[in-house]
Structure 1
Amino acid sequence: MNTKIKYGLSAAVLALIAAGAPAPEILDQFLDEKEGNHTTAYRDGAGIWTICRGAILVDSKPVVPGMKLSKEKCDQVNAIERDKALAWVEKNIRVPLTEPQK
């Protein structure tokens, strides 16, 4: 059976998990594959203006039509959003997790 079909994860993500990569690295790979990295604002499936890997705020300001960011700025925004998501997991999941499970 095709690994991607069976688990919904790419070979790259599965390889990172198998190698025991840190959660930020795994999440970055997963989100790059699923969300892409758009440097120009676009409407998501719900009609919300978003940019980079789905951010709706940049520097505490809402994403607006026509907004453009450099790849470097998107990398910064993506890191902030990733770290917020991982902090939520750390705070709310009460069972011990290995690094890749985080």
Structure 2
Amino acid sequence: MAKITFETTDGQEHTIDIANGLSIMEGAVRNMVPGIDADCGGTCSCATCMVYVPPEWAGKLPPKKSDEEAMIEFCPHHNETSRLSCQIDVTDALDGLRLKVPESQR
């Protein structure tokens, strides 16, 4: 299980525990984290679960697959730290991860 914090654009923080094996998106939706809508249900086809990952955590996450990279590229608000939270499975190694929710997902 990992404790993950989501920071919304209004400065609010939502720290939740997510069980290993779930995606970060599944944990966020189950805990009603604002801005993580997950309209496609985790099929990597909508990017409404996009988050910004701090650079120091980038190497601890699995690399982006081509479908995730393509979906992110369609988002006008993406940057080099953008990830789809539906594509990141939780492990103990992610305990303490802090993510930012994009302004466009308010």
Q: Which has the higher contact order (CA 8 A, sep 6+)?
A: 2
TM over 0.5: no
Structure with higher Rg: it is 1
Give the TM-score normalised by the residue count of structure 1. 0.25
Give the TM-score normalised by the residue count of structure 2. 0.24
